[in-house]
Amino acid sequence: MTKVTAQMSVSLDGFYAGPRHSGEAADWMESAEAAGFFRVTRWVTDAMAWRERQGFAGGEQSVSSRVVAESFEAAGAYVMGRNMADGGEVPWGDEPPFRAPVFVVTRRPRETLVRQGGTSFTYVTDGIASAVEQARAAARGKNVAVAGGGTLLRQVLRAGLLDELELHIVPTVLGTGMRLLDADLDLAEKEAIELTPTRVIHTPEVTHIRYTVNGRAALVLDDRGSGSGVEAR
């Protein structure tokens, strides 16, 4: 059955990149945003399975590489934000790494772009739920992967459309940056989004934790700790 999944590499303090770069685009590689981004994705760029999809040589055939390979394999279609699609269009070249239909959430209508190796980019202008539905129909029973960035992932989570989230928790504290689970999730007071971890794979470089998203729930007062009633004052 098709699941809507997402995954993201984050620092131990929850950032997927350094603070947003506000200067010239050409200076991005030297920015603090990029420095943070490359730190949290280092485990990916070291992984053979990722490098092979990018057409790069080398890399490690590691446990983490298998996690990457598995993610690519499980995805029958992708949903992507406009920033990521725009930024990737040139570097991904004629044969992008997705090898599956990609549905780009955007406000600007554009004709579908068909690339080699099975990748196509379809521009969806009527919202995230529509993009997810179109991706679901195109996924042929495989999963719909929300490919990012962080803003899109939060929107999908907030809208209750996400079935599974895999976080790759990298053992670094950045202190500041672009936070994945930011405050714009529209949670009410004493309300949470509950998940259940279903798989944990750990290496010295990164801890991969896969969660099923159970949905929103009220935080009810829980006095199991008291026993004697001391704390239930």
* Contact residues for its own copies, defined by CB under 8 A: 11-14, 18, 26, 29-30, 32, 34-36, 38-39, 41-42, 44-46, 51, 54-58, 91, 93, 157, 167, 169, 171-176, 181, 183, 185, 187, 189-197, 200, 202, 204, 207, 209, 211, 219-222, 224-228, 230-233
Amino acid letter, residue 209: I
Between 138 and 156, CB nearer to its own copies: 156
The least CB distance from residue 191 to its own copies, in Å, is 8
Block residue for tokens 């949290």 = 40
The least CB distance from residue 219 to its own copies, in Å, is 4
H-helix or E-strand spanning residue 49:
helix 48-54
Tokens of 75: 């995805």
Between 89 and 133, CB nearer to its own copies: 89
Between 70 and 191, CB nearer to its own copies: 191
CA distance 131 to 120: 14
CA distance 29 to 100: 28
Between 109 and 229, CB nearer to its own copies: 229
Tokens of 195: 């998940």
The least CB distance from residue 44 to its own copies, in Å, is 8
- Closest-CA residue to 131 (of 158, 152, 100, 113): 152
| 76: DSSP letter | E
Block residue for tokens 């895999």 = 166
What per-residue string of b and e applies to 181-213 under the rule 16 or more CB within 10 Å gives b? beeeeeeeeeeebebeeeeeeeeebbebbbbbb
Angle at 91 between CA 85 and CA 93, to 5 degrees: 90
The least CB distance from residue 29 to its own copies, in Å, is 7
The least CB distance from residue 71 to its own copies, in Å, is 17
The least CB distance from residue 57 to its own copies, in Å, is 6
Between 79 and 165, CB nearer to its own copies: 165
Please say whether the beta carbons of 149 and 81 come within 8 A: yes
The least CB distance from residue 18 to its own copies, in Å, is 7
CA distance 34 to 143: 29
Between 88 and 142, CB nearer to its own copies: 88
Between 1 and 26, CB nearer to its own copies: 26
